[in-house]
Amino acid sequence: MTFIPTTPSMVLLFLVLLLKSSIFAQDVEMDETATTTPSSNTSSLNECDNLTIGEFTFLLVSSSDPFDEVSFFGFQDLPGNLNLYLTDNAWTGDSFATTEGVMMLTTPPEGIPAGITVGLGPAETVYQYGRSWQSVQGVFALSTEGEQVFLYCLDGSNQPRPIAAISYNGPFLPPNLPDYGFNTSAVPQDLVDANATIVLPHEHRWQYIGPKLLEIDELKAAIQDTETNWEGTSVQNSSGSTTGMSRTTTMVVTSFLISVAVVATNSLW
């Protein structure tokens, strides 16, 4: 079982343990550099390896309608000073293609608690950190033809470790195909097994509009229920400002209540 702090006292204990173990880890590392032979190259686990696949889920994806937006949500705290990445590059089987783009967000020193909706885009009342991402490779641009987006971090071996995925162009494809183009992708099987993927048919914009005040497992299941709880819209035209306004209002409520749901559920445990 993964240890997830769920009450304030457990969070405190977790932080104390984390602090102690990181100080300890530094001591060990310094000893090792002094005593071990240079040939040893054991990669250690890092904060990225500690993120649990299945504890993060996308809530929103929007392609040029009138701007690209993505948001996601954690049932697990994100540590401070962690680099998170969003990419529309295809997963090819054991790595990402490099034909599209990668955006990076460094979490604030205090971390990002579970229950905070993190986004990329301009809607500051809907998700946090929307304008804090920087481009680190290529061009991240969500195609109105449909695409796949991955959330990942870099593991202890400095390799991308996907932790959540969303497709708004139908099912993911098998790995190791010769070419995924700009609007298809494979997906790591561990994400599928952990319900860390959202698979939607093609629309320009999708968002979770389902119930929010649920226990954690029920909320996870509700977010997975794309038939019932996701709304897709294909607005061809950014001049439809009335539609845009009403969608934004719904999203504010969604985001707020999800935060409350997790905090409320946590405090029961």
Ligand X SMILES: *[C@@H]1O[C@H](CO)[C@@H](O)[C@H](O)[C@H]1NC(C)=O
Residues in touch with ligand X (CB under 6 A): 3, 17-18, 21, 41, 43, 45-47, 50, 54, 145-146, 157, 169, 181-183, 194-195, 221, 224, 236-237, 239
**Residue 232 φ/ψ, nearest 5 degrees:** -110, 140
Q: How far is the CB of 183 from ligand X (least distance, A)?
A: 4
Q: How far is the CB of 131 from ligand X (least distance, A)?
A: 27
Residue of this chain nearest to ligand X (CB atom): 237
Looking at the Cβ atoms of 33 and 236, the one nearer to ligand X is: 236
How far, in Å, CA of 267 to CA of 252, rounded? 23
One-letter identity of residue 178: P
Please report, for residues 47, 75, 83, 94, 173, the alpha-carbon distance to residue 6 in angstroms, rounded to integers and kept in the order given: 18, 10, 24, 33, 36
Looking at the Cβ atoms of 104 and 235, the one nearer to ligand X is: 235
Q: How far is the CB of 125 from ligand X (least distance, A)?
A: 26
The residues facing 69 across adjacent strands are 62
Q: Which residue has tokens 């604030």? A: 108
Looking at the Cβ atoms of 52 and 128, the one nearer to ligand X is: 52
Looking at the Cβ atoms of 134 and 227, the one nearer to ligand X is: 227
The residues facing 83 across adjacent strands are 106
**Residue 75 φ/ψ, nearest 5 degrees:** -90, 0
**Tokens at 261, concatenated:** 């749901």
Q: How far is the CB of 101 from ligand X (least distance, A)?
A: 16
Count how many residues are written for the chain.
269
Q: How far is the CB of 156 from ligand X (least distance, A)?
A: 8
**Tokens at 72, concatenated:** 């996601």
Looking at the Cβ atoms of 196 and 251, the one nearer to ligand X is: 196
